[in-house]
Amino acid sequence: MRLSHKSFLNGMPEPVYRPAGTDHRKECCLPMIFLERIHLCVINTETEIDKISRDELKKPLIERPGNLIYFETDTRLYGIVSSGDVYRSSGTDIPINKKFSFAARSETMRARRFFLAHSNIHELPALEDGRLIGEFQSADDELYLDRAVPLSRNGYAEGYFAGLKRTALVEPAAGHGFKRPYFEKMKAALDSYHAEYTVVTFEEMLEHFDAFSRYLVVDQPENRGALLALYLLYGKKFYHRIVTFYEFLEKLESSQVVDCEEVFRGFLSQGVSTVVINARRQHSDYADRTEAAVRKRFPQEFPDDLNGRVWPFAEAFFDDLYSLDGYVDNILNGYFFVEQQNEQMRLRDSNSRYVNVSKGERRTVGQPVEYERTIYFYGPCLVIGSYEGDEYTIESWLQKRINECGYRVKVVNCGCWGGNVATLNRMVSTLFKKGDVIVALMEDLDIKFEGMKSVNIWETLEKNQVPAEWLLDSPFHVNHHVTKMYADEIFSVIFGEENSVGESGGEYVPFHFDFIERFFIRKYFHNVDLSAYRSAACCVFNGNPFTNGHRYLLEKAAEETEHVYLLVVKENSSIFSFCERYAMAIEAAKDLKNVTVIPSGLFIGNVVNFPAYYAKMWTPDAEEQVRNHVRTFGSVAGSLHATHRFVGEEPMDPVTALINQVSLEILPEYGIKTVIVPRKTKDAQPITGTFVRELAEKDPDRLCSFVPASTADIMLCETINVF
């Protein structure tokens, strides 16, 4: 089966290697902002106190919601209470933390490094002579919202908004009036698509939380403050019911809103059965008890180092396999590596005592030599078998059950991380025969239509009254007892009396799916005539940060072609987030009328596809990564009808220099000419991102000689009401 473009790289931004079982969902990395003291939740006391009651926290938090509550006297800040402090406390009083990190207002780069080193911390107090003057926050949603690609250019927007049910749009809290323009922007977006929603105040959301299934709030600080206030009121966490407008738009641009249903319908129409694994949360005493026990072990929703935190619970979790020689060490200390092979994301081949991967497939024990049909599994962690040896994965349990029943069926584990796009791409690139079966775990998606079979693993857990000790942080990270239960449930769905698989027709199933059209063009250029220009340039910038060198290159492209498409790499592996780098590019280019700035989408520059770029060092497979990157660029730029690629001369970074060389060699196959522009200098100093980042720390007053003024404002967190 062939894709409709010559090359295709895929996958959501993910690390290149995976500790067994690590959950890869994480909060979006957003730009840093400095918020003045007036907008923060501050409690003044005459003298220092050591603790505060839960009830005393509620009122100030409702007026100015946030993740931190500050405590100060007339002379200085002496303590804080964070959401973590509240979640960890069991009594009516919450201890005030007297030891905390802080920064000066001028230390913006230090604050950035702090957030990079502490991914679970989102606020850093700013002090002056011991007094609180404000707060650095690792999220400035508004910086992106002002510049987001118009919804009219997203072909999925109408259907997405039409699907909203029982949604409340939440006005900013009383003390956050400066966020009102973004609330109005949210409201206008919903109104433009005639979405069903109800406007509520922040207080009304807290008082009548069960009235709606989803609450749409302005930004991340409002979200975290709401979660903390709700916990104080109800003693529960409601992570998935409160969504920021940025997350709302991000989901619309992501692989979660695509024609997945069309893909599965296509397979069904060709005689390939499909089963989707989902984990829709059950509202029951069992689910509440189990989730509470899980959160007690892992208070952070998505632990950064889950494997390292499993050891205290390993004996209960691994149960009878705990004493098996070397088993736990092999599972928790082993790594699954992700690689690209023949344009597919897959696990790298590896061999160990209990975990083996061959030709990109995790070993399934008991596979028959002769078989009539195949069951293929796709998806991340649970499908891969992150916490099981080869013989205890879902696939091996299922194969054992099939063999015992005498069916001539082979089970194949095609599990891999990389997100829904990578999963779909590998799926549609597999040669299926009529009678084969697809079992897929699609992240955060529950696809339902007539003929589609599904397995809800929460229902399986409750039916078997699985003890919480056999789960780690979610129903996807479970032990060998639970994978057997899941396998039995999948077996009954596939081979049950009403769901019996018919005979194999022995014919290969034809299938065609245009990924770049569905995941890029339809996201950013719906109803746009991309053939309107005789010459068009396509540039890719990481822009960490956007400098006058980037501006110079963009000007050259704008002078020599009719139109320029600037793709800003949508990846958060740099010290400046995608949202910051995107805002920098938009602001720096807004006077160039023939330049369109857009996110690079899911295909170009993701760390899982191109780790050598972010490592900034030569690796054995760097050349292969570069060639894949250039071919993917050729496919994307070709879809934009680009005739030129403009790149900057690169005398220092060997990986970027190789990109230029390979572009000259390969892009003519796509009808694209590569133009290498000499690097811009200032006072004999080459303008590089490294130099500018150092300047921001050592001599920020000189920044505007090397970067656009808007870039300097973003770098120094001078963005409130600037644009």
> What is the DSSP track for 462-501?
HHTT--GGGBSSSTTSB-HHHHHHHHHHHHHHHHSSTT--
Q: What's the CA gap between 278 and 457, in Å, rounded?
A: 6
pLDDT at 2 over 50: no
Taking only the tens place, the pLDDT of each residue in 517-556 is 888 899 999 999 999 999 999 999 999 999 999 999 999 9
Count CB-CB contacts under 10 A for residue 217. Answer: 30
pLDDT at 340: 67
Tell me how far apart the terminal alpha carbons of the chain are, to the nearest angstrom.
Answer: 49
Mean pLDDT of 188-197: 93
Mean pLDDT of 604-610: 63
Of 506 and 400, the one with more pLDDT: 400
Confidence of residue 325 (pLDDT cuts 50, 70, 90): very high
Count CB-CB contacts under 10 A for residue 657. Answer: 16
Domain segments of the chain: what residues? Answer: 33-138, 157-253, 272-515, 529-715
pLDDT at 195: 93
The token duo for 419 is: 């997100």
Q: What's the CA gap between 360 and 377, in Å, rounded?
A: 13
Compute the C-alpha angle 419/629/344, nearest 5°. Answer: 45
CA–centroid distance for 249 within its chain:
13
Asked if residues 132 and 103 have their Cβ atoms less than 8 Å apart, the reply is: no
Cβ-Cβ contacts under 8 Å for 618 (sequence gap 6 or more): 612, 654, 655
% pLDDT > 70, the chain: 88
Q: What's the CA gap between 400 and 484, in Å, rounded?
A: 10
Taking only the tens place, the pLDDT of each residue in 132-184 is 999 999 876 778 888 888 999 999 899 889 888 899 999 999 888 888 988 99
Q: What's the CA gap between 120 and 113, in Å, rounded?
A: 13
pLDDT at 555: 97
Eight-class DSSP state of 193: T
Classify the phi-psi angles of 98: left when phi > 0, otherwise alpha if psi is within -120 to 50, otherwise beta: alpha
Of 417 and 605, the one with more pLDDT: 417
Of 668 and 283, the one with more pLDDT: 668
pLDDT at 104: 94
pLDDT at 24: 30
Q: Which helix (H) or strand (E) covers residue 549, if one does? A: helix 548-560
Among all chains, which residue has been given the structure tokens 């054992």?
400
pLDDT at 685: 85
Three-class secondary structure of residue 633 per DSSP? helix
CA–centroid distance for 466 within its chain:
30
pLDDT at 634: 93
Amino acid letter, residue 605: G
pTM score, two decimals? 0.77
pLDDT at 336: 79
- The neighbouring-strand residues paired with 93 are 53
Taking only the tens place, the pLDDT of each residue in 226-265 is 999 999 888 887 877 899 988 888 888 775 666 678 888 8
Taking only the tens place, the pLDDT of each residue in 24-79 is 323 334 457 888 999 999 999 999 999 999 999 988 988 899 999 999 999 899 99
> What class is the 157-253 domain?
alpha beta
Confidence of residue 570 (pLDDT cuts 50, 70, 90): confident
Confidence of residue 607 (pLDDT cuts 50, 70, 90): low
The token duo for 8 is: 């295709």
pLDDT at 37: 92
Eight-class DSSP state of 519: I
Taking only the tens place, the pLDDT of each residue in 671-718 is 999 999 998 988 888 888 889 999 998 898 899 999 999 999 999 888
Task: Quickly list DSSP for 86-132.
Answer: HHH--SSEEEPB-----B-TT-HHHHHHHHHH-TT--EEEEEETTEE
Compute the C-alpha angle 655/660/666, nearest 5°. Answer: 115
Architecture (CATH level 2) of domain 272-515: 3-Layer(aba) Sandwich (3.40)
Mean pLDDT of 397-406: 97
> What class is the 33-138 domain?
alpha beta
Taking only the tens place, the pLDDT of each residue in 450-504 is 778 999 999 999 999 999 999 998 999 999 999 999 999 999 999 985 445 555 5
Q: Which segment of 73-82, 188-197, 281-290 scores lowest on mean pLDDT?
A: 281-290
From residue 654, give the alpha-carbon distance in Å to each of 56, 78, 546, 616.
58, 49, 20, 8
Q: Which helix (H) or strand (E) covers residue 685, if one does? A: strand 685-686
pLDDT at 318: 96
List the beta strands (DSSP E) in 192-234: 198-200, 214-217
Does the fold of domain 272-515 match that of domain 157-253?
A: yes
pLDDT at 259: 65
CA–centroid distance for 468 within its chain:
27
pLDDT at 387: 94
Average pLDDT, the chain: 86
Amino acid letter, residue 561: T
Taking only the tens place, the pLDDT of each residue in 429-441 is 888 999 999 999 9
Alpha helix stretches (DSSP H) within 311-432: 314-318, 327-333, 381-384, 394-405, 419-428
Confidence of residue 192 (pLDDT cuts 50, 70, 90): very high
Confidence of residue 22 (pLDDT cuts 50, 70, 90): very low
Q: What's the CA gap between 25 and 420, in Å, rounded?
A: 12
List the beta strands (DSSP E) in 446-594: 453-456, 536-541, 563-568
Eight-class DSSP state of 73: -
Omega before 545 within 30 of 0, i.e. cis: yes
Q: What's the CA gap between 184 and 190, in Å, rounded?
A: 10
Evaluate whether the domain defined by 529-715 bears CATH number 1.20.1070.10: no
| Nearest Cα residue to 414 out of 454, 363, 365, 371 | 363
